Amino acid sequence: MELVGTYGKHSDLNASIGLSDLGNQFWNLSPAELVEDTIITGQGVLTDTGALAIETGEFTGRSPKDRFVVFDEKTENSVWWGDVNIKFDAGKFDALYNRMKAYLNGKDVYVRDAYACADPTFAMNIRVVTEFPWSNMFAYNMFLRPEAHEIENFLPEWHIVCAPGFKADPAIDGTRQHNFAILNFTKKMILIGGTGYTGEIKKGIFSVLNYVLPHEKNVLSMHCSANIGNEEHDTAIFFGLSGTGKTTLSSDENRRLIGDDEHGWAESSVFNFEGGCYAKTIDLTREKEPQIYDAIKFGAILENIGFSGGSTPDYTDNSITENTRVSYPIHHIDNIAEPSIGSTPKNIFFLTADAFGVLPPISKLTKEQAMYHFMSGYTAKVAGTEVGITEPTTTFSACFGAAFLPLHPAKYAKLLGEKLNGTDINVWLINTGWTGGSYGVGSRMKLSYTRAMITAALTGKLDDVAYETLPIFDLAMPTSCENVPSEILNPRATWADKKAYDDTANNLASKFVKNFEKFAAETDANILAAAPKVLAV
């Protein structure tokens, strides 16, 4: 069996990770070749946008309960063990990998050399070995792409082996079920099996960087998007959990995109970890999100979408999943920062999609409130799509990304605190969720209004306007904002039933307080004082 494609001197998978007796090895194929292989093998189709469309199979989202970290000398006292970082036995890891190797015996594999971190000081080489061509193309789209001459001497630091067709046996392998994503910090390997969801590949490396950068390099790693003003060259970052608007709001025709999901904040720069974007496509329209819409062309990979007859994507089709996605290399967006690096942020946005409709669409946080809300990491999702279920469910995910944090959240919060202290960086809380009532009564905030509020904040137009204070949460809300009706700026004013608002707000406040109990012992009093004030009822 042979090596096909472009590969360098260090291309012996047996020597590096013990992978032998494979079928053909396809090294660093071009997107066109990977598209061709995907289509020829019946794993995907070409859409009339030029983008490839694939289905990821049984899993159309990440599976947090099947994500493990190998427990060993290196991780024992550094990793924050629990529901997020679930322990996996080092011996079991080796045994499972042996079974994966056996599975890959005689099979063709696709190999991709890539790296993470746009700042060369922190660049980390990654080699991704995949069973499927489209998983490989995802890695091409999402990670940074070495130049052809860099492939020659490419030395991988981390390896990912991704075999969606390999199903683990919990009784033998020590997994929870047949799918898994396992991080091994000592061997610098990530094993992914039983799931074809591509997001596991990118979030695996994100988790690695969330360990390495803060722990070993004093860099704050962040689950955020980032962009730079065309004229002022000011950097803005947007933190938020899934679905809160990081990708959508960071694509802005007046600002160059640094990146849409994962960044590091070093001494004086913010840099992208990735080389691509991973956007949601549900209900995507050119009118609302022109940059993302236009990025869907040859080279992009659409996941789990439906079709309106023939090969035309139907972005309203949620029959496979709500989480339909597209990945594309960042240069599919026309105004990007090159390289993907900006200066220290001038504005920080915390995005929350508050389905209770309690939080204001924009408010300005004090430093203490910023720390409190960063540690809380609040958003609220709509409970389900079933008829009659109208009660949203709260999510508190520390640092707006606990699912990807191998270290204790206090570590990241401490780094953020150090970066904020003594600066005039603005921190804004943005509710991209509900207004006029909770889910079921109110409606989602108009995207055009959210964009206008962010633009106003970024251009200093909220510096000299009047502010009022939202009770309970004690948030400073502007009373006017260009291109936004003033009536929507105070959430209580948008509710017909004020008593219902007050009760819902109080109820949400008590959830914040309860969630924060676990951090109370190690949090400074001034930050604790920024908690919402639950009213006695």
Cα separation, 308 vs 315, in Å, equals 9
Q: Is 247 a catalytic residue?
A: yes
CB atoms within 10 A of CB 290: 13
Q: Sign of torsion, CA 437 438 441 442?
A: positive
Q: Give the nearest distance from C-beta 323 to ligand ATP in angstroms.
A: 8
- 245 makes contact, choosing from Mn ion, ligand ATP, none, with CB < 5 to 8 Å by partner type, with ligand ATP
Cα separation, 486 vs 480, in Å, equals 5
Residue with smaller CB distance to ligand ATP, 445 or 530: 445
- Which residues of this protein are in contact with ligand ATP, per CB under 6 A? 240, 242-249, 261, 278-280, 282, 432, 444-445, 447, 450
HSE (CB half, 13 Å, CA atoms) of 64?
Answer: 11
Name the catalytic one among 221, 247, 327, 455: 247
3-class secondary structure, 460: coil
Cα separation, 478 vs 468, in Å, equals 6
- 444 makes contact, choosing from Mn ion, ligand ATP, none, with CB < 5 to 8 Å by partner type, with ligand ATP
The token pair that represents 96 in the structure block: 């499972």
Q: Is 108 a catalytic residue?
A: no
Cα separation, 301 vs 133, in Å, equals 11
Residue with smaller CB distance to Mn ion, 67 or 246: 246
- Kindly list the distances between the CA atom of residue 202 and the CA atoms of 133, 137, 198, 266, 288, in Å, as whole numbers in the listed order: 16, 12, 7, 21, 26
Q: Is 66 a catalytic residue?
A: no
Name the catalytic one among 223, 332, 346, 451: 223
Residue with smaller CB distance to ligand ATP, 44 or 401: 401
Q: How far is residue 363 CA from its own chain's centroid?
A: 23
Q: Give the nearest distance from C-beta 229 to ligand ATP in angstroms.
A: 20
Residue with smaller CB distance to ligand ATP, 66 or 289: 289
Residue with smaller CB distance to ligand ATP, 100 or 139: 139
- 447 makes contact, choosing from Mn ion, ligand ATP, none, with CB < 5 to 8 Å by partner type, with ligand ATP
Q: Give the nearest distance from C-beta 235 to ligand ATP in angstroms.
A: 18
Residue with smaller CB distance to ligand ATP, 184 or 435: 435
Q: Is 319 a catalytic residue?
A: no
Q: Give the nearest distance from C-beta 432 to ligand ATP in angstroms.
A: 3
- Which residues of this protein are in contact with Mn ion, per CB under 5 A? 246-247, 261
Q: Which residue is nearest to Mn ion (CB)?
A: 247
Name the catalytic one among 145, 187, 255, 325: 325
Name the catalytic one among 11, 60, 75, 242: 242
- Kindly list the distances between the CA atom of residue 240 and the CA atoms of 78, 117, 432, in Å, as whole numbers in the listed order: 25, 20, 10
Q: Is 223 a catalytic residue?
A: yes
Q: Give the nearest distance from C-beta 225 to Mn ion in angstroms.
A: 7
Rg (CA), the chain: 23
Q: Give the nearest distance from C-beta 243 to Mn ion in angstroms.
A: 8
- 419 makes contact, choosing from ligand ATP, Mn ion, none, with CB < 5 to 8 Å by partner type, with none
| DSSP letter assigned to residue 453 | H
Cα separation, 295 vs 293, in Å, equals 5
Q: Give the nearest distance from C-beta 375 to ligand ATP in angstroms.
A: 19
- 450 makes contact, choosing from Mn ion, ligand ATP, none, with CB < 5 to 8 Å by partner type, with ligand ATP
Name the catalytic one among 203, 280, 332, 346: 203
What is the per-residue DSSP string for 193-234? ES---THHHHHHHHHHHHHHHHHHH--EEEEEEEEEETTT--
- 243 makes contact, choosing from Mn ion, ligand ATP, none, with CB < 5 to 8 Å by partner type, with ligand ATP
Name the catalytic one among 49, 56, 60, 62: 62
- 25 makes contact, choosing from Mn ion, ligand ATP, none, with CB < 5 to 8 Å by partner type, with none
Cis peptide leading into residue 339 (ω within 30°): yes
Q: Sign of torsion, CA 434 436 438 439?
A: negative
Name the catalytic one among 175, 261, 363, 523: 261
Cα separation, 52 vs 141, in Å, equals 12
Q: Is 62 a catalytic residue?
A: yes
Residues noted as catalytic: 62, 203, 223, 242, 246-247, 261, 325
